[in-house]
Every structure is written in C-alpha cells, then in structure tokens.
Structure 1
Amino acid sequence: MSIAQIMTHRNRLITTMADASLASLRDVFAKARFQHVPVTDASNRLVGIVSVKDYFRELSPVMDAASDPAISLFIRSRKVHQVMITPVITVSEHSTIKQAAALLLKHNISCLPVTDEHKHLLGLVSWKDIMRAALNHTVASS
C-alpha cells in the first residue's frame, strides 16, 4: 500500500507562509484537529513545518510572565519562520507505509509531508494515518 492511499491530500490541509505571524496559527491549533501546519512558498513548495509543540514552546517563556495583552502582542510580532522546522523530512506519494513508518521512528517525528520531486506539497501522512491503515489491514485480513 502506498502513502498516496492513506495521506491527507493538499486540498484538505491548512498551510501557512513563512512570513505569517504566529497569531495566524492560534485558531488552527485551538479549533482544528491539526497538530502540524506545512509552511509553503508562493509556488506551493514546502519550506518548513510548524507543530503545535513548536508553537507552544515559543510561547511558554512569555505565558508564565506576561499578561494576556503581552502574549497577544508577542504572537502577532513573531513569524512562522522563527519557529518552523527546516529542512523537513518528507516522503513521496509512491513511498510505502513501511518506509514512512521507518522514517517516523528513525527521526522521532509524528508526521511526514508528502512532496513531489520539486518539493511541491501533495499532502501529509501522520503516525495516526499509518496506525489506521495497519488496523484496517489487520481487520480486513481477519
């Protein structure tokens, strides 16, 4: 089974740009079920990824010591490129689930952006997608 069969496709992802403010991610992480937001350029090429952990790691120093207005000002002034992870470990849509699982374990990460040979973002596969596929395969085989 290939990654293309289990990934969340680009049209269902929320992405951001490197120069966006952290404030733009607040609602994504607060309301959506997304844990990762791919960072793309104007040509839809992947340039980084920001996770909810990266977001809160950036905020933690000011959350303890600052009032709500100070936190609001801080996240409006900080940019995504200041907290995103780059370079990003990726897979192709033709990769196998086993290859993706091995990368997740090797690098201790929880998702892999799926890109083409030019680094254009095609989708995202998470450890949950892989577990779901394994469970479905196990149930179908029973």
Structure 2
Amino acid sequence: MKLNPTVAGVTTARIQPENQRGGAPGARTKPGKTNTEPVVSIDSIMSRRVVTVGFDDTLATAKSIFDEAKFHHLLVVEHGELHGVVSDRDLLRAISPFIGSTVESARDVNTLNKRVHQIMSRKPITLRPEAEIADAVELLLAHKISCIPIVDEQFRPVGIVSWRDILRALASQNPAAGQAAGT
C-alpha cells in the first residue's frame, strides 16, 4: 500500500480494486487464494453515518454533538471535501475541565468559543471503500489513530471506520469471540 498526498492536503491510501469473485457481500479473495478465504472490504464494515462540522464551527457546537451522539469522531469538511478530524479526546484537551462545574468561570466558558480548525487533526489518513480490513489495521497501528475516514475520488467523506468497527467485524467471523464481546 502506498500513501499519496493530494491537492486538498488529505493523505489517502491508494488501493487498486481487486476483481470480485463471489462470496459474501463486500468479500473478495486475494489473487492466488481460493474462495474459501474471503477478504472483507472496508465498504462492508464502515459506518455510513458521517457527521461533519465546518472549519469555523465552535467547540461548543462540537461538544453538543458529542454530548448527544454515541460516536467519538467528527469529520471537518469544507466545500464538500474532507480536511480534518476532531475526536472527543481532542475536544476534551481543548476545553476547560471546569465547564459545567460549580467553579466554572467566564474564562472556562470562553474555551468553547475556539473554532474547530484550531484543534482538528489536519491531513487525515484516509482509505477508499474498496480497501481491505488489513489495510485499515495497518494504518491504525502505523499512525496511532483511532479512526479512518473513507472518501470517494473527490475526497468527499462516504463513511468512517474505527478500531471498534474492525473488532466487531472480526468478532462476527468468530462466534466464540462475538459472544465474549457481547455481539
């Protein structure tokens, strides 16, 4: 796999699509392997529910989204193109720990007025939908990240894959692991 910088400043892994050879939806086989060893594509496990924010949205906006939702990453999009990622941990590091407490001050509340572009991770590592789970695992480990935005040819987000999605997919392939994980 080769990482290529792009005009938009987003780094994406260029994965050449392989021939479909039947099997489960999203499953392919590697060249030289039989149909009994499917390779699952990112497209089949990615979350298609992508929530985005803009560069100039406030941290208060991001906080309210995280407070209401059950996910940990927001994609930063401008003119339809992906430019960054904000995690719930990025947000917690950027705002005052005293917000919502009895000792909260105006200075603490003002940390919510910062803009998303001030704390986002820029030039996110991305994959295309036809990439394999192994490609995602390699990127997650190599770059010490917890999610990978999935983009189309114009770098528009079409999904997101987290390490939890990968674990769920692997657990579903192994019934004993799935029961232990509560799936």
Q: TM-score, normalised by structure 2?
A: 0.68
- Of 19, 31, 46 in structure 2, the residue corresponding to residue 7 of structure 1 is 46
The equivalent of 1:41 in structure 2 is 78
C-alpha distance after superposition, 1:4-40 (max 9, x if no partner) = 000011xx22110011111101112222111110000
Q: C-alpha distance in 2, partners of 1:18/1:40? A: 7
How far off its partner does 1:70 sit?
A: 2.8
Q: 1:25-64, aligned counterparts within 5 Å?
A: 25-42=62-79, 44-60=80-96
Q: C-alpha distance in 1, partners of 2:154/2:118? A: 24
Matched AA of 1:48: G
- Of 88, 94, 109 in structure 2, the residue corresponding to residue 72 of structure 1 is 109
Q: In terms of Rg, which structure is larger?
A: 2
Q: C-alpha distance in 1, partners of 2:130/2:105? A: 46
User: Which aligned runs of 4 or more in structure 1 are off by greater than 4 angstroms?
Assistant: 60-64
Q: C-alpha distance in 1, partners of 2:154/2:50? A: 19
Residue ranges of structure 2 left out of the alignment (5+ in a row): 1-39, 177-183
- Structure with the bigger percentage of strand: 2
- Structure with the bigger percentage of helix: 1
Q: C-alpha distance in 2, partners of 1:73/1:57? A: 14
How far off its partner does 1:92 sit?
A: 0.6
Residue ranges of structure 1 left out of the alignment (5+ in a row): none
- Of 152, 159, 164 in structure 2, the residue corresponding to residue 123 of structure 1 is 159
Q: C-alpha distance in 1, partners of 2:94/2:158? A: 28
- Of 120, 136, 151 in structure 2, the residue corresponding to residue 84 of structure 1 is 120
The equivalent of 1:107 in structure 2 is 143
How far off its partner does 1:61 sit?
A: 7.4
C-alpha distance after superposition, 1:36-58 (max 9, x if no partner) = 1000012x210100001111111
Q: Percent identity of the aligned residues?
A: 36
Q: C-alpha distance in 2, partners of 1:83/1:62? A: 19
How many equivalent residue pairs? Answer: 135
